[in-house]
Every structure is written in C-alpha cells, then in structure tokens.
Structure 1
C-alpha cells in the first residue's frame, strides 16, 4: 500500500481547524457568565451569607469599617470593659484598624517602569515586594504588642472571654489587611 501526501488537503485541514478554534474561542468570550449574587457566591463557597469573608465587603471600605465597628462593639460588650479600662480598649482598637491603602502608581511612574528591561522589572518588583512584606510584618508586630498590652489590662475573667472569642476566629487579628492576621499556631 502506498501513502500519498496531499499537501493541499493538509493545509486546508489546518486552516479549517484554526478557523473553528477561533470561532469557538470568540463565542465563549462573548457569552458572559451569569453574575453571582453575594449570598449565592458565599453559599457556593460554603460560607453563610453576610460572612466576614464576603469579597464585596473587602472592596467596600464603608462596609468593612461597619463590620469592624460592629465586631469591636460586640467584643467590648462581652468583655464588659470598665471605665478604668477604657484607655487600654481605645489603644487596642486603634491598633487594629486596617492600614491605609497604598498609593496607586502615577502615569509617570508607570512609564518609567515600562522602560525597564524584563530583568530590571523583576528586580524592581522583588524590591517592592520586600518593602511591602517588611511593612506588613511591622504592622503585625504592632498589633501583637497592642493585643498583649490590652490583654494584661483585663481581669482573669475578661481574659477567658477574650481567649474564647479569639479561638472562635482562629486567633486572627481582625481588622488587618483584608481582615486577616497571623495563622493560628498548631502544635
């Protein structure tokens, strides 16, 4: 049996396959996915509606601030903060506020970044990441020290309540970037 190669048929098959792939990809790109509502998205993620991990709250500073204020008011009520402890409470809650968002790059900074070669951009991004991590570590250290100072001002009964509340939430220091803090320590 002799195999005959038909160059024209092979080229036509390749062109046809390419056209079909292009049409299929453009059809998929034009069909938008149905937007999920916040409660539906939370339920799909296995979280109750209104859960603090709701992505919308993360992007809405007013909602995030309202959630933090509510959580702090609930904690203050559970701890039964006395007038003598009010100063320690105020210092503690102030330290738990999320940091201000970093400034967005200006068009001039963006243009300078675009002029860099790929290795230079990689080095610049590494430098920026190192600086950001140092800032995050300093903020976490500040929150940790503020928590220890506040904890020391509590009565033994209040400390038990504080411990119980923090265990419920995995020991996180809520109010940090995106509501996250250090991961719980597992022994």
Structure 2
C-alpha cells in the first residue's frame, strides 16, 4: 500500500506552525481606536495582527492534536522534536521588484532557483520530521493523526477566498 504523505506533511506544518506564537515575548502591536478590519492602518500593523491570529489558531490546533493523540511518556520527546522541526523558518527578506528588475534574466533565474532550493530543503526537513514522528505512533494514533491532518486539505488551499 502506497501512502501519500504530502497532505500529512503540509497539514502538520500548518498545525505546528503555532510554535512561533509561543516563542513571542509579548502581545503584538496594539491597534488604535477604530482600527478594525478594513480601516486605514499601516500594512505592518494589519499584517502583525493577522500573523498573531494565525499563530493563535495554529497553537490551538497543535494542542488539540496532541490531546487527541494521547501520547505516552516515551512519545513526548518524539512529539517535541516533531513540533520543533515543524516550526516555520524565519522569513528571509524577499527580493524587491526593483532589485530583481536590475538583474539579467539568467541572474533572476539563479536567484529564483536559490530561493526554491531553500524552500525545498525546509520541506525535506519537515518531511523527515513528520515521518519520524509518524513512525513512533501506534496504529490507532496514526489513524487519529491522519484524520486530523488531512482535514485542512479537503477544500483546497484557498477556501474562503473568491
């Protein structure tokens, strides 16, 4: 039986990216009065609040998954290693359009290949961590893990948009 782990890995990445929220030292930037969604506010503040909401959501999902898995004491180290590996990498500064426009076509292709290789390496790390953790689970836990991580892929990546 061939198992497609890509959805499991992607869901696990989403489920565990909330660790960044746990690593934050305090609350995000406070919005001023009347600064609700759609109001005129700097993009940085809006982005920071969106990131905070997403991290809170992921933290809740991660905790929920851990509770459902009912890990035993021997599996705790494996879980911690898995969650640490699934932590999203710090976002490298994206090349600015102006910078990219100054490059020749081969240089732009080289830059894009460099970025792709970094993403591929990060994915390979998360893939390996997921497979290692999955191997430490019992058959019942694997079933729970599969059911809970496949859920986010039922409607595609852009559900709610469009």
TM-score by length of 1: 0.51
1:71 maps to 2:61: yes
1:78-129 residue CA offsets vs partner (Å, 9 max, x unmatched): 10112211110011111111110113669xx95xx67x4xxx4322221111
Secondary structure of the residue that 1:133 maps to in structure 2?
A: helix
User: 1:84 maps to which residue?
Assistant: 74
Larger radius of gyration: 1
Alpha-carbon shift at residue 57 of structure 1 (Å): 7.2
Whether contact under 8 Å (1:58, 1:64) holds in the other structure is no
User: 2:145 maps to which residue?
Assistant: 162
Match of residue 87, structure 2, among 78, 86, 97: 97
Match of residue 139, structure 1, among 116, 122, 125: 122
Secondary structure of the residue that 2:104 maps to in structure 1?
A: helix
Separation in 2 of the partners of 1:169 and 1:58?
23
Alpha-carbon shift at residue 69 of structure 1 (Å): 1.2
Alpha-carbon shift at residue 66 of structure 1 (Å): 1.6
Whether contact under 8 Å (1:88, 1:153) holds in the other structure is yes
Whether contact under 8 Å (1:92, 1:150) holds in the other structure is yes
Q: Which has the higher contact order (CA 8 A, sep 6+)?
A: 2
Separation in 2 of the partners of 1:133 and 1:80?
37
Separation in 2 of the partners of 1:62 and 1:144?
25
CA RMSD between the two structures: 3.0
Alpha-carbon shift at residue 61 of structure 1 (Å): 3.0
Which runs of 5 or more structure 1 residues have no equivalent in the other structure? 1-36, 39-55, 172-179, 181-187
Match of residue 131, structure 2, among 125, 148, 152: 148
User: 1:128 maps to which residue?
Assistant: 111
1:105-158 residue CA offsets vs partner (Å, 9 max, x unmatched): 69xx95xx67x4xxx432222111101111111111111111110011111110
Separation in 2 of the partners of 1:166 and 1:96?
13
Which runs of 5 or more structure 2 residues have no equivalent in the other structure? 1-36, 39-45, 158-162
